[in-house]
Structure 1
């Protein structure tokens, strides 16, 4: 299966969010931000200059800026280029050989290029925890909350959120800072994410982070 060409669709707004099952509150001192697979290879399937990719990039950038300001760890996951068949394993049976040897295809998109002090993890499976040191990194930083944004919502984002939950790390999936192959798959991913985590919009999450900081400084 090759990556599809995605047609434009509107980002979900607050009215479209699934009912919450968890009452967790985001706290800057407990949280880290994961930017999942925002590489040219994956983001390139979306129509340039249209929804959802415009909002996707803007909202991920806003989350990243505030995370940096608040001293929250920022982690980028990225599929390595030129993986050997033994590295791809069963993933190759469905998704093919993956990113080729082109460095530009594997690079994080230019507006989100990782900065000094931010973390870049090789992501060899959809789940960013699998075969990486993401869990160890979060524990070393004293973080038990994970804000997840990026692509694709029903694959890497959802699987990563589920694994976080299974490992007692509270996942926060940002509804309008993820994107998918279609509006239907996007909506499905959010409904499932709400069963093991918290789903928020970017503006709500940014507000909650700032309010918590203000209360702590009061």
Structure 2
């Protein structure tokens, strides 16, 4: 059976906004995720709802130092990172996209791997706030969002994964066959729904958090 969350207490819930940075979201950016660019308006509305209802909002930014001291294997995996063309800590491209800027007092956690929990203080912060439920939004569905959702579940958080405000890219052929962004997104949601999270729309999330009518 799929994992189900029956109710959401706003004061024990945090929205994690994963890597909605200029290098991923801005038109023509070196690593643009078009599904994520297209959902900025919906995500902005959802974050407004969170702030109104008392749900904490936490951002992440995937960044690397220019000297490569936190690089790991990304120099071998992602050409734009290897060339220092994207996600350089402190650069304009590494900043949160202006249409989604954090509100006063909201934190941006710098991360150097896919999961927002790996080698960061996210878990410490959430426990300090008394959070028991996390909501996943941002990019990319199968990579940073998926990894963070899995790690959240491993840390005993209930996980709500928002299907309409997560997104990904097409995968080109590298020996195993190419995949469209739509197929990757749908498949990842199906896997998460069976193993890790309650996959829901933003409207369904609002119903659980504040009893708003579904639209």
- TM range, smaller chain: 0.7 to 0.9
Aligned length: 190
Structure 1: runs of 5+ lacking an equivalent: 1-18, 213-218
**Residue 203 to residue 105, structure 1, CA distance change in 2 (3 Å):** same
1:102 CA drift (Å): 6.7
1:99 CA drift (Å): 1.8
Q: Does 1:78 align with 2:99?
A: no
Which of 49, 64, 69 is the matching residue for 2:52?
69
State the partner residue of 2:10: 28
Instruction: Pick which of 139-148 and 200-209 moved more.
Output: 200-209
Q: TM-score, normalised by structure 1?
A: 0.80
CA distance in structure 2 between the partners assigned to 1:147 and 1:209 by the alignment: 11
State the partner residue of 2:175: none
Question: Which deviations, in whole Å up to 9, do the C-alpha atoms of 1:91-134 show, x marking residues without a partner?
Answer: 22212435236722111111111121111100111100101110
Q: Does 1:188 align with 2:187?
A: yes
Answer 1 or 2: higher relative contact order, Cα 8 Å, separation at least 6. 1
State the partner residue of 2:211: 211
On the 8 A contact 1:158/1:192 being kept in 2, the answer is: no
- Secondary structure of 1:22's counterpart equals coil
**Residue 114 to residue 52, structure 1, CA distance change in 2 (3 Å):** closer
Q: TM-score, normalised by structure 2?
A: 0.81
State the partner residue of 1:119: 107
Question: Which deviations, in whole Å up to 9, do the C-alpha atoms of 1:147-197 show, x marking residues without a partner?
Answer: 010000000000000000011001111000001011111112211221111
CA distance in structure 2 between the partners assigned to 1:129 and 1:26 by the alignment: 22
State the partner residue of 2:178: none
TM-align CA RMSD: 1.9
CA distance in structure 1 between the partners assigned to 2:5 and 2:53 by the alignment: 22
State the partner residue of 1:5: none
Structure 2: runs of 5+ lacking an equivalent: 27-31, 170-180
